[in-house]
A and B are shown apart, each in its own frame.
Chain A
Amino acid sequence: MKTTLLFAGSLMLSATTALAAPSCGANTGAAATGTPIKVGGIFGNAAPGDFSASTTAARAYFDCVNANGGIGGRPIEYLTENDQWNPELAAQAASKLLKDEKVVAIVGNGSFVEMAVNAPLYKEENVMAMASACAVSECFESSNIVSTNQGPLPSTVGAAQYMVEEQGAQNVSCIGLAIPNVGPWSCGAMEGYMAGKGLTGSSVLLNPASPDVNSALLESIASGADTILVNLPAGLAIAFLKAAEEQGLGDTYKWASSTPLYDRSVPEALGAYWDGKMFINAELTPWDKGGPDATNWLAVMDAYAPAEAARDTFSQSGYLSARFFTEAMLALDPAKLDDRAAVTDAIKAIKGATSDLLCGPYYVGEADRHMPNHAGTMVVVKGGGFETVRDCYEYDSPYFAPILEQEKALGLR
């Protein structure tokens, strides 16, 4: 009897291990040994935030691909650069990757700065950037960048929409960064959404170099808002909410946030005070929703990323960008793997790719703007974790009209 139980236990353990084993690329189990294929990635890590989760996850996935046959036996050499939120460094990083290293594609980028500086260069060099943690308008309004994440505009509009439709918000104050194509762009769209509904919206913008969260909080309160929507990098958002907690404002206002606060470490950092109070828009589906990609992403991260690496939306997004890129490369003629133009065409040909991490299909296409991901999920901070309060829903804003037209033309809608 004891032996049978032990045997059954071993079987269950093996099954669990098998489930947790990552699956990547050709999944051959044999390490790739050929000439490396160079792929680049640029992330921003300095004040006011660390966006390296996307490139870390993309690197983990590429390492997994390399351990599983690579691309036709050739490993991916993933070269990453930190722009430190500095336009000069961002331009230098892109020049190094595109002109010196001659990468065939850029995958997993995450920055406030890089895309704004380099969008013209990407077009000029005919390279496609499959970004993952985009936060500026250029990510979504240029021909050679496509991002797997939504960026602050859809996430902010989506959060405001939920607060209006389900929490009765009438007057929303958006707290953003005073970077024109980030804070004013996304909070401005939220104001437009509120005005379209006959409601009130306003923005409070912080200096990213020296953000004063207390002043922002006071300005937000002075606006007469009933809902405060935090649209800041996670570290800064937590500091803002701590200031609100010190003032005892948790129950006086309704609270919402765009996606940066959807991070596993956030509920603990916020503490019990915010339990059930803080509603957060998740640009990708919740990590506990289950599904092949949700499981595989964590397995890849556990096997190939440092233990302390963030497991957040940007990490999911980096994983997915790397996965879609790898699949496009696997389908490409092996003779053209080093041909940047052929790789760009292969990426632009991606259409209708699906993942349980996304609410809709992923596509690229030949267009002047790209925003394949524009539907999300709302969660609330609950019991030291997150609880889904509204599953996949489309956002309601005139901003998405040209994107919906594109999807119709591609037969995706």
Chain B
Amino acid sequence: MQITRSGLVGLILAALAILVLPMLAGGQWLKIFTSTTAFALAAMGAGFMYARLGMVSLAQVGLMGIGGWVTLRLNHAFNLPFEANLLIGAAMTSVLGMILALPALRMRGLYLALITLMVAGGLEIIFTAYQFPNGGDGFWGVGTSFSATMRRPFLGQTDAGFLRYALVVALLGFLLIEGHRRSASGRAWALIRRSEAAALASGVNVTLYKTWAFGLSGLLAGLGGGVLAGSLGLLDASTFRASESVLLFALVVVGGARFWLGAVITAVLYRVAPGLLNNWGVDADLALVFFGAALLHAVITAPDGLAGQIFGLFSKEAAHDRA
């Protein structure tokens, strides 16, 4: 299998990040980078749906909440290892993503975006009303007293180890998308993006491949939610508001949905920029102003986002790496 230049750069950077980042980062930045990695997983899901199929998902952070909820619930209910909780959480988010996709399949553009936004709003209400499991009794698992312990993976007991673990999960997520892009699914998605009628005429099962895309995007969001739950030990509804999903999607556009680097830039803008502002003693909400300006910049001058501009600067071959 041929490795593109940008792919090679990505793999080298991922290896460097996995090896070096946990060693260099202090306590606060270990937490920030772990959150960043979790949101990078969600961002790559939203980016891939937008870039490959032209579908706008405004429920990605809400779906992260599902992954986090299931991971926490399993952790407190059974004595399964973290990996099992994480994978089951991601799989259930994926299934939910597919179920949500079914009524959305006939919609395109704005209407599809609105449906996903309503889903995000519904999830926000459910999370706020029922909260996240903390080791309590019953189906919802919410106790009013002390939170139970969240088990972490064997290789991620410390914050540094857990960041390394999260980065490996994110790398696997990227490879999963790349694998799909190069397979029959990728070709089917490319055809659907150009024309659903042409895809149907060519014998592509549009329903299956669209649903599969939603499922894959949900899987990545679920992984992100599970990683976040493992990092913090408990989750709060405020993290998974519908407005956060909208913000994440806007940053996906800013970062560049077509490239792996776009998801990284999205997550860095989403979590590292507010962290830096906090450290400088500036209100982190100021980041929203920068995000607004960046979105305008992306819409007006950079349709491929910041990642497109960066790749464009370094290599004329970037165009070949696009879908």
Contact = CB atoms under 8 A, between A and B. Distances in A.
Contacts of B233: 117, 120
B234 interface: yes
Interface in B112-146: 128-129, 131, 134, 136, 142-146
Given A92-B28, A207-B128, A116 B241 contact: no
Interface residues of A, number: 35
A302 interface: no
B145 to A, nearest CB: 5
A92 B237 CA distance: 18
Question: How many B residues touch the partner, as a band?
Answer: 35 or more
Contacts of B278: 81-82, 89, 92
A209 interface: yes
B227 to A, nearest CB: 12
A85 B239 CA distance: 10
Contact of B144 (A119, A185, A209): A185
B312 interface: no
Nearest to B237: A209
A180 B128 contact: no
A138 B235 contact: no
A86 interface: yes
Contact of B239 (A86, A120, A141, A178): A86
B291 to A, nearest CB: 17
A95 interface: yes
A113 B132 CA distance: 13
B140 to A, nearest CB: 9
Contact of A178 (B129, B134, B145, B146): B129
Contacts of B131: 178-180
B128 to A, nearest CB: 5
A96 B144 contact: no
Interface string B65-93: 00000000000000000000000000000
B207 interface: no
Interface string B5-40: 000000000000000000000111011100100000
Q: Tell me the dominant secondary structure on chain A's binding face.
A: helix
A96 B146 contact: no
Interface in B207-240: 228, 231-239
Given A180-B136, A207-B128, A209-B238, A95 B145 contact: no
Given A88-B31, A99-B27, A142 B146 contact: yes
A209 B128 contact: yes
Contacts of B284: 84
B308 interface: no
A138 B142 CA distance: 14
A158 interface: no
Contacts of A86: 236, 238-239
Contacts of A169: none
A118 to B, nearest CB: 9
Contact of B146 (A82, A138, A208): A138
B31 A92 contact: yes
A84 B239 CA distance: 12
A256 interface: no
B147 interface: yes
Contact of A87 (B30, B129, B239, B271): B239
Contacts of A178: 128-129, 131
A377 interface: no
Contact of A116 (B26, B35, B159, B234): B234
Given A92-B28, A117-B233, A185 B145 contact: yes
Interface string A83-121: 011111101110110111000000000000100110110
Interface string A168-209: 000000000011110011001000000000000000000111
Nearest to B243: A209
Nearest to A181: B144
Contacts of B195: none
A98 B239 CA distance: 24
B149 A96 contact: no
Nearest to A187: B144
Given A99-B26, A116-B234, A120-B233, A180 B241 contact: no
A117 to B, nearest CB: 6
Interface string A59-84: 00000000000000000000001101
B28 A96 contact: yes
A296 interface: no
Given A138-B147, A141-B146, A88 B239 contact: yes
A100 B26 contact: yes
Given A99-B28, A178-B129, A209-B241, A91 B231 contact: yes
B305 interface: no
A180 B239 contact: no
A321 interface: no
Contacts of B173: none
B145 A137 contact: yes
Contacts of A116: 147, 234
A208 B131 CA distance: 12
B192 to A, nearest CB: 36
B144 A95 contact: no
Contact of B27 (A100, A120, A207): A100
B275 interface: yes
A284 B263 CA distance: 51
Given A81-B278, A87-B239, 17 more contacts: A82-B278, A84-B284, A88-B239, A88-B271, A92-B275, A95-B30, A96-B27, A99-B159, A116-B147, A117-B234, A137-B144, A142-B146, A178-B128, A181-B147, A184-B144, A207-B128, A207-B129
26 contacts: A81-B278, A88-B228, A89-B278, A91-B231, A92-B28, A92-B31, A95-B30, A95-B159, A99-B28, A100-B27, A117-B232, A117-B233, A120-B233, A137-B145, A141-B146, A178-B129, A180-B131, A180-B136, A180-B143, A180-B144, A181-B134, A181-B146, A181-B147, A185-B144, A207-B128, A209-B128
Interface of B: 26-28, 30-32, 35, 128-129, 131, 134, 136, 142-147, 149, 159, 228, 231-239, 241, 271, 275, 278, 284
Closest 4 CB pairs of A and B: A99-B27, A95-B27, A96-B28, A185-B144
